[in-house]
Structure 1
Amino acid sequence: MLKVQEIREIIKLIDQSSIDEFVYESEGSKIKMKKHAQDKGVVVSQQPLQVVQAVPAAQPAPVAQPAPASLAPVQQPEAAAAGNDQEELHKIVSPMVGTFYQSPSPEADPYVKPGSKISSDSVVCIVEAMKLFNEIEAEVNGEIVEVLVKDGQLVEYGQPLFLVKATGER
């Protein structure tokens, strides 16, 4: 377990960086820090953990970058019905390179599917990277319009995973 002074130094470093969220896990303890205005704080738990939220050390992925035409997802009928202008939709992007999983286990139901209502802290999928299963949160309130990747598919850093019709504030 980290000492109080070490935790203070981490808080100071996170506060001065562009990182919005930081998670540290060691020997069954977990420290999670968020810089979101509504969620500032530190959480420390002493329980065994199975799933860890990881945060990339690099700058956050730009959300507004369109995919090259050759890599753009094929628009599904439900996306066309929700509106032809995808500019109005929020994209939930992968924070890392890894394998996309839509459910916590192969026999479980997907976290979300088109039409699912989500809040900003809703887990929408898991991205596995280096044997760590990282829960990906929506970070926006709204409704899932389209799932852009298939279960078990490799995803890249910044790759759009979901299209969300956002409602209210993030």
Structure 2
Amino acid sequence: MLKVEEIRELIKLVDDSTIDEFVYEHEGSKIKMKKNTSETIVSAESFKPIAQAPQVHTQPTVQPAAAVEAQPAKEAEQHSASAGNEGNLHKIVSPMVGTFYQSSSPEAGPYVSAGSKVYKETIVCIVEAMKLFNEIEAEVNGEIVEILVKDGQLVEYGQPLFLVKPE
């Protein structure tokens, strides 16, 4: 289960983002956050019975934020599974929870697009976590086949971001 400080950081990230719902599951625990027009609701549930730790349900009130629908990670994974020849494709995955950006600034063009040639050191996107912008590299030589997430979308640790046809 996440520590209280980590949960607070997640609440801040969700509150500062444009998404209105966030779900995190790990080792039998689940944290679900939803933003309404007037509050953020956070609940944590444990799937495994823990003798000493009761379930935690908190509902802190925060400033209103714009509600924008985000594509859940499971939908992105199902979408990538439907892409043909996935067995031959390399997945570039998010190394952290954060916000996905295709370019270095709103005015700049995307780092890569479908059909772009990439090398191991090629920067393919940025994942912002706690006001830090982390450049993500391709990790493999090849060609971008598909971008699995949208610009500005919240991504989870290990979530596939790109499909690459290796050379």
TM-score normalised by the chain length of structure 1? 0.52
C-alpha distance in 1 between matches for 2:76 and 2:102? 21
Q: CA deviation at 1:107?
A: 1.0
Structure 1 runs of 4+ aligned residues shifted over 2 Å read: 68-75
C-alpha distance in 2 between matches for 1:71 and 1:150? 10
* Matched-pair contact (CA < 8 Å) for 1:73–1:148: no
Aligned to 1:127: 127
Identity over aligned pairs, percent: 71
* Matched-pair contact (CA < 8 Å) for 2:98–2:127: yes
C-alpha distance in 2 between matches for 1:106 and 1:70? 26
C-alpha distance in 2 between matches for 1:73 and 1:102? 21
Q: CA deviation at 1:87?
A: 1.0
Give the residue type in structure 2 aligned to 1:162: F
1:72 to 69, 77, 83: 77
Paired residues in the alignment total: 95
- C-alpha deviations, 1:116-156, integer Å up to 9, x for none? 00000000000000000000000100000000000000000
From the two aligned structures, give the one with the greater strand fraction: 2
C-alpha distance in 2 between matches for 1:70 and 1:95? 19
Give the residue type in structure 1 aligned to 2:79: V
Q: Aligned pair 1:137/2:137, yes or no?
A: yes
SS in 1 for 2:77: coil
- Give the unaligned 5+ runs of structure 2: 1-72
SS in 2 for 1:115: coil
* Matched-pair contact (CA < 8 Å) for 2:114–2:144: yes
SS in 1 for 2:79: coil
Aligned to 1:5: none
SS in 2 for 1:74: helix
C-alpha distance in 2 between matches for 1:72 and 1:113? 19
Q: CA deviation at 1:69?
A: 6.7
Aligned to 1:86: 86
- Give the unaligned 5+ runs of structure 1: 1-67
Structure 2 counterparts to residues 3-152 of structure 1, below 5 A:
72-74=77-79, 84-152=84-152
C-alpha distance in 1 between matches for 2:157 and 2:118? 22
Aligned to 2:163: 163
Give the residue type in structure 2 aligned to 1:74: H
C-alpha distance in 2 between matches for 1:162 and 1:71? 10
C-alpha distance in 1 between matches for 2:111 and 2:78? 21
C-alpha distance in 2 between matches for 1:165 and 1:71? 18
C-alpha distance in 1 between matches for 2:145 and 2:88? 11
Q: CA RMSD in A?
A: 2.2
Give the residue type in structure 2 aligned to 1:123: I
